[in-house]
Amino acid sequence: MSNSYTAVGIVNYPSAQLAAVHGLTDMLVTANRFIQELRKQDTPLFCVTHWCLSSDEQEMQSQFCSEASVPIQQDVLLIPGSLNSESGSKQNPALLEWVRSQHDTGAIACSICKGAFILAQSGLLINRTVTTHWALEEEFSAQFPDVHVQIDKIIIDGGDIITAGGVMAWLDLGLRLIHRFAGSEVMLAVAKFLLIDPCGREQKFYSAFSPQLNHGDELVVKIQRWLQTHYSEPLSLEKLANVAATSVRTLIRRFHSALDMTPTSYIQQLRIGKARELLELTKLPVSKIAWKVGYEDAGAFRKVFQRSLGLSPGEYRKRFAVD
């Protein structure tokens, strides 16, 4: 650690999400307050700084510090997400070099949402398992094939690298860091004060199944379009193969090549997506929803739903139903 505190540098790069920059600052400063109250400790635990490119874009410079002196070496480096639609645009070389050097000299490098693109561009994520926003999985994987993406997770903690998925995942990351450096008592006090649910969440609670139709395989597209209106019917691989006028073996191979999943997995995701809509927008009993999306056995539907989302249908409805 730098000096007697934990130095936390937040990278305020062009288009960085300001809610994350200032929200994380507020969380960590609030943690300092509770550390003083709960432990009767006069000195703060966290020193928060904001870093941006200089006017000539040749180096990184501090633009804010919560304490009297600015620590040059960070213990934790936070790269927020961005609401800019150009998520994968190339970042300034000076910024990337600074991120690398901070990590190389001991900083824990953290990203939120699209911030993972910056960490990947810096070269720190090669052969690492990371997360980012679920809607960015395809774009991220295409740009960085040597990085393993696991978008079901809100947080993936690799020790020296922590990645958080989702635009608002800075809340989860902030609590994770407070827990790591200040302990559970302080983390829970901050969560209660800021009205943040400290219980574990997962991105799969929120991600939507969006069928990919731009893969270029007309046979697979034909089946996908047919399934949009026939997903609730009794289905078999043989029936799908007949619709496509092909063999079961060819059907499976083409689905895997185009979508990286089996036809059975695709049908399951499509049905679960339809079930989520019914749970959110209707008051139909779960057994009726199961039947409407193609499951004759409500118990089997509940098991598939729980396995897919990590929540039971009832729990999902409590979280997301529109009143």
User: C-alpha angle with apex 157: 46 to 26, nearest 5 degrees?
Assistant: 30
Pick from 205, 234, 267: which residue ends a domain? 205
241 and 201 within one domain: no
Helix (H) or strand (E) holding 65: strand 60-65
Residues 142 and 52 in one domain: yes
**Strand pairing category for 108-112 and 76-79:** parallel
Q: Do 86 and 166 have their domain in common? A: yes
Asked if residue 213 is part of any domain, the answer here is no
Nearest to 28, CA basis, from 44, 51, 52, 12: 44
Q: Are 178 and 259 members of one domain?
A: no
212 within domain boundaries: no
CA dist., res. 61 & res. 77, Å (int): 14
Do both 169 and 102 map to the same domain?
Answer: yes
In a domain, residue 210? The reply is no
- 140 domain-assigned: yes
Question: Any alpha helices (H) in 68-195, and if so which ranges?
Answer: 93-104, 115-121, 137-143, 170-182, 184-194
- CATH number of the domain encompassing residue 157: 3.40.50.880
Q: In angstroms, what is the C-alpha Rg of the chain? A: 23
Q: Is the dihedral of CA 260, 266, 268, 274 positive or negative?
A: positive
- Give the pLDDT confidence score for residue 88 in this predicted structure: 63
Are residues 199 and 224 located together in one domain of the fold?
Answer: no
The string of pLDDT tens digits covering residues 174-229 is 999 998 899 888 998 999 999 887 766 777 777 767 777 778 899 998 999 899 88
Same domain (yes/no): 190, 274: no
Q: Is residue 261 within 8 Å of 201, Cβ to Cβ?
A: no
Residues 50 and 135 in one domain: yes
CB contact burial 22-48 (16+ within 10 A = b; e otherwise):
ebbbebbebbbebbeeeeeeeebbbbb
| DSSP label at residue 234 | -
Instruction: Give residue 194's pLDDT.
Output: 92
The CATH number given to whatever domain includes residue 287 is 1.10.10.60
Residue 1 located in a structural domain: no
> Which DSSP letter does residue 48 get?
E
Asked whether 122 and 113 are in contact (CB, 8 A), the reply is: no
The total of other beta-carbon atoms located within 10 Å of residue 205's CB is 16
The count of domains in the chain is 2
pLDDT-flagged residues of the chain (< 50): 1-2
Q: Residue 178 is encoded by which pair of tokens?
A: 């407070």
Separation between Cα atoms, residue 104 and residue 83, nearest integer Å: 28
- Range 274-277, long-range pairs (CB < 8 A, 24+ positions): 274/231, 274/232, 275/301, 275/305, 275/313, 276/208, 276/309, 276/316, 276/320
In a domain, 107, yes or no: yes
Print the domain residue range for 111.
6-205
Same domain, 233 and 106: no
Same domain as 125, residue 62: yes
- Domain membership of residue 279 (yes or no) is yes
Same structural domain, 298 and 163? no
Q: Looking at the structure, do residues 162 and 236 belong to the same domain, yes or no?
A: no
pLDDT of residue 13: 94
